Structure 1
């Protein structure tokens, strides 16, 4: 399996570890700031950021993040994505990792790669069986570990509504403990929601 890497820092360390495990990964550690006004919806490949207003706060999803989501949702190119909030005002949601790995443990490792107390958003293309039929549900997972400080947690809590609007078609799921991030917890949530 091949990989394409762009970026520096911790994203390289995470990517190197995933590559050594044979995972096809794209890691991006830098995001361009949004240039569009609020309430503009971006189309893939237009060079615009998707920005959605929520309760007076605005959190922008970078173009790379939006394009990766589109590739996951419509083209099924990826199985999961991990996003982090960046920017001087903590108002940009940037793609950190995109992977086509079908191993759920790889997703857990990627969403927790920021270290102790690091919050992240993850998008997981969850495929499961119910009533003898295959189903697909795309989850937007808000990972906010119990040891996250208020300063780390606050931007993620404020931005979740606007991020979910930008990434239309997702079902939000909040996880604070390791057990809530488990495959079985997600399967239970998938089966209980339409």
Structure 2
């Protein structure tokens, strides 16, 4: 009897080692060699825990916003010191940062030329126009630029971070989603401004 009782720890050892391995390595294929009842559930439970941080890293609220993003936006809104602002997500820093600021003398064509053909961006454009009543007005556009040719991962990150980023910029009047230059053409801007 003592020998049989002493044999139990040797049966418990493989799951114990497996338990430690699963925290750092992907779980091996399921096997039917588990001797004790109920222990077969441990691998799937541990695998779920090991995968949880990866899911959280891809969640919507993962991107911080650099203070300069808000500062430049406030300058555009209050002082009209910029015609446009281009923002990009720095994936290494996990942060939205200012990529380029356009001078007030620049026009819409200058702005459109700064949007990269194969990469996503957020952009602010301050559009000046004259109403039918001959009144000078301006509207602040937020543009989510996500070209079809951009990487799928990049499109997902920009889409999932957009709402949080927009909340940091108080004063946006019109929002546009664009996947190609036609969707963000001057005629579209003019139509949405009125």
- Report the TM-score when normalising by structure 1: 0.64
1:93/1:56 CA distance change after superposition, 3 Å: closer
Partner of 2:102: 99
Alpha-carbon offset, residue 110 of structure 1: 1.2
Alpha-carbon offset, residue 142 of structure 1: 0.6
Alpha-carbon offset, residue 58 of structure 1: 4.3
Does structure 1 conserve the Cα–Cα contact (< 8 Å) formed by 2:83 and 2:107?
A: no
Q: Secondary structure at the match of 1:84?
A: strand
Alignment of 1:31-180 (within 5 A): 57-88=61-92, 91-100=94-103, 101-112=105-116, 116-132=117-133, 133-170=135-172, 171-180=174-183
Structure 1 moving runs of 4+ over 6 Å: none
Across the two proteins, how many residue pairs are aligned to each other?
133
Partner of 2:192: 189
Q: Which runs of 5+ in 1 are unaligned?
A: 1-54
Alpha-carbon offset, residue 80 of structure 1: 0.4
Alpha-carbon offset, residue 150 of structure 1: 1.1
**Aligned partners of 1:158, 1:136: CA distance in 2, in Å?**
29
Does structure 2 conserve the Cα–Cα contact (< 8 Å) formed by 1:82 and 1:95?
A: yes
Q: Which runs of 5+ in 2 are unaligned?
A: 1-58
Does structure 1 conserve the Cα–Cα contact (< 8 Å) formed by 2:128 and 2:138?
A: yes
Alpha-carbon offset, residue 188 of structure 1: 0.7
Q: Which has the larger radius of gyration?
A: 2
1:57-102 alpha-carbon deviations (Å, 9 max, x no partner):
243221111111111111111010000001436x311000001143
Q: Secondary structure at the match of 1:153?
A: helix
Task: Give the helix-richer structure, 1 or 2.
Answer: 2
**Aligned partners of 1:117, 1:143: CA distance in 2, in Å?**
10
1:156/1:188 CA distance change after superposition, 3 Å: same
**Aligned partners of 2:63, 2:186: CA distance in 1, in Å?**
29
**Aligned partners of 1:60, 1:172: CA distance in 2, in Å?**
21
Alpha-carbon offset, residue 106 of structure 1: 0.8
**Aligned partners of 1:60, 1:185: CA distance in 2, in Å?**
30
- Report the TM-score when normalising by structure 2: 0.64
Q: Secondary structure at the match of 1:74?
A: helix
Q: CA RMSD in A?
A: 1.7
